[in-house]
């Protein structure tokens, strides 16, 4: 998949680049530390090898994967499927770098709108998304299966 995007985005010593199969184990560590119902190895493998609409990025510090972001782009609509930063590396601009990579990719592929879902209780993530112009667009009731929490749908015109 790395051939779908030339270049990387850097912020300090953190490098943002396209995810490859070899990165899945590191992504799984971030996933398990970030979510109560983490995706499986097979789910990530299918996304980056079989899903023609999917684009996944990792944030790498040295040789360690410290974050990742997933993006689907279907015609003029794009959706951030997931984004996570290792707990030890949060609040250092890594999430912002991943979001910038996703927004840039969506624009490059011709998307006109970008959406995502976020837990209504996750005010920190909502603040990050608002930095990129995202606005609330609705609620998905009982969206999260672990605790039936609602999701706030957020949108931005690109």
| CATH assignment at residue 16 | 3.40.630.30
The per-residue pLDDT for 6 is 38
- Over residues 4-62, the pLDDT tens digits come to 343 445 556 889 999 999 999 999 999 999 998 999 999 999 999 999 999 999 999 98
pLDDT in tens, 138-148: 999 998 888 99
According to DSSP H, which parts of the chain are helical?
24-34, 41-49, 94-108, 123-131
Range of the domain at 117: 2-157
The predicted structure's pLDDT at residue 12: 63
CA–CA gap between residue 125 and residue 118 (Å, rounded): 7
Active-site residue, selected from the candidate residues 117, 143, 144, 149: 117
Q: Which of 55, 88, 129, 149 is catalytic?
A: 129
Using CA atoms, how far residue 94 sits from 67, 90, 147, in Å, is 7, 7, 27
Q: Are 36 and 122 in contact (CB under 8 A)?
A: no
Q: Which residue in 104, 110, 128, 101 sits closest to 17, CA to CA?
A: 101
Based on the residue annotation, tell me whether 117 is a catalytic residue of this protein: yes
pTM: 0.87
Calculate mean pLDDT across residues 62-88: 96
The total of structural domains in the chain comes to 1
What separation in angstroms does the CA of 44 have from each of 32, 38, 50, 54, 64?
13, 11, 10, 10, 18
149 is catalytic: no
Q: How far apart are CA 20 and CA 8, in angstroms?
A: 13
Q: How confident is the model at residue 123 (pLDDT cuts 50, 70, 90)?
A: very high
Spatial separation of the C-alpha atoms in residues 128 and 40, rounded to whole Å: 26
pLDDT at 9: 52
């Amino acid at each position: 998949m790395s051939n779908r995007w030339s270049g990387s985005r850097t912020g300090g010593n953190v490098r943002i680049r396209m995810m490859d199969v070899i990165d899945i184990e590191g992504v799984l560590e971030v996933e398990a530390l970030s979510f109560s119902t983490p995706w499986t190895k097979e789910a990530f493998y299918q996304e980056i090898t079989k899903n023609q609409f999917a684009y996944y990025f990792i944030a790498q510090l040295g040789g360690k994967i410290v974050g990742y972001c997933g993006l689907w782009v279907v015609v003029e609509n794009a959706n951030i499927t997931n984004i996570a930063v290792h707990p030890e590396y949060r609040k250092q601009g890594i999430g912002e770098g991943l979001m910038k990579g996703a927004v840039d990719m969506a624009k490059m592929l011709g998307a006109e709108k970008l959406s995502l879902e976020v837990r209504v209780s996750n005010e920190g993530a909502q603040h990050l998304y608002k930095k990129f112009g995202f606005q609330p667009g609705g609620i998905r009731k009982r969206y999260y299966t672990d605790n039936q929490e609602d999701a706030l749908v957020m949108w931005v015109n690109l």
